[in-house]
């Protein structure tokens, strides 16, 4: 093989490496964003632990200009009255654990760790049945977008793992 062919091969491999790194980092950024949103929700839940959830639910309805006479509003107020501190703490705890898992996955994908590719494949696959259900019963642009992005991530991770082209294993990243 000529030196020119070696140079072209090396350049092609660098291009593939850079492309895979960009995709992995885009997915990592998405996972980081999901973790931050859920962590913010957990903090918000913790902020209402020692407060009257019925009053907070009533305030939410007023802010949204929803009359408490509507069936939905009454159901929401009744549900809020059933919330206990233990339930709120449990939800905040689960949300915090979920956020931590998203952060770990994001770190692993950012640094092209094969275990993170597996986590992304498995966790993304677990969401697909729920997303399909949402599309079948409440299709809108948001649900279609979430579904398309998740399918793309799952297929990309499956491709990397099935072909041995994972960023770290094939291209020698980190």
Distance CA 161, CA 174 (A): 17
pLDDT digits (tens, 9 = 90+) for 81-131: 899 999 999 999 999 999 999 999 999 999 999 999 999 999 999 999 999
Tell me the whole-structure pTM to 2 decimals. 0.78
Q: What is the pLDDT of residue 68?
A: 85
Question: What pLDDT digit, counting tens, does each position of 6-26 carry?
Answer: 555 555 556 567 888 899 999
pLDDT tens-digit map of 119-164? 999 999 999 999 999 999 988 999 999 999 999 999 999 998 888 7
- Averaged confidence pLDDT in the chain: 87
pLDDT at 174 exceeding the cut of 50: no
Between CA 48 and CA 61 the distance in angstroms is 16
**Upper half-sphere CA count for residue 62 (Cβ side, 13 Å):** 6
């Amino acid at each position: 093989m000529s030196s020119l062919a070696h140079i072209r091969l090396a350049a092609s491999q660098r291009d593939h490496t850079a492309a895979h790194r960009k995709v992995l980092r885009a997915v990592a950024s998405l996972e980081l964003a999901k973790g931050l949103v859920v962590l913010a929700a957990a903090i918000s839940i913790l902020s209402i632990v020692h407060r009257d959830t019925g009053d907070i639910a009533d305030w939410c309805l007023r802010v949204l200009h929803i009359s408490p006479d509507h069936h939905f509003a009454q159901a929401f107020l009744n549900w809020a009255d059933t919330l206990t501190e233990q339930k709120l703490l449990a939800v905040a705890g689960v949300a915090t654990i979920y956020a931590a898992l998203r952060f770990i996955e994001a770190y692993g994908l950012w640094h092209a760790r094969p275990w993170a590719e597996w986590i992304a494949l498995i966790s993304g696959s677990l969401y697909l049945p729920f997303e399909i259900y949402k599309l079948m019963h409440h299709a809108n642009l948001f649900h279609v977008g979430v579904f398309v992005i998740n399918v793309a991530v799952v297929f990309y991770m499956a491709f990397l793992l099935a072909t041995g082209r994972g960023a770290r294993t094939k291209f020698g990243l980190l």
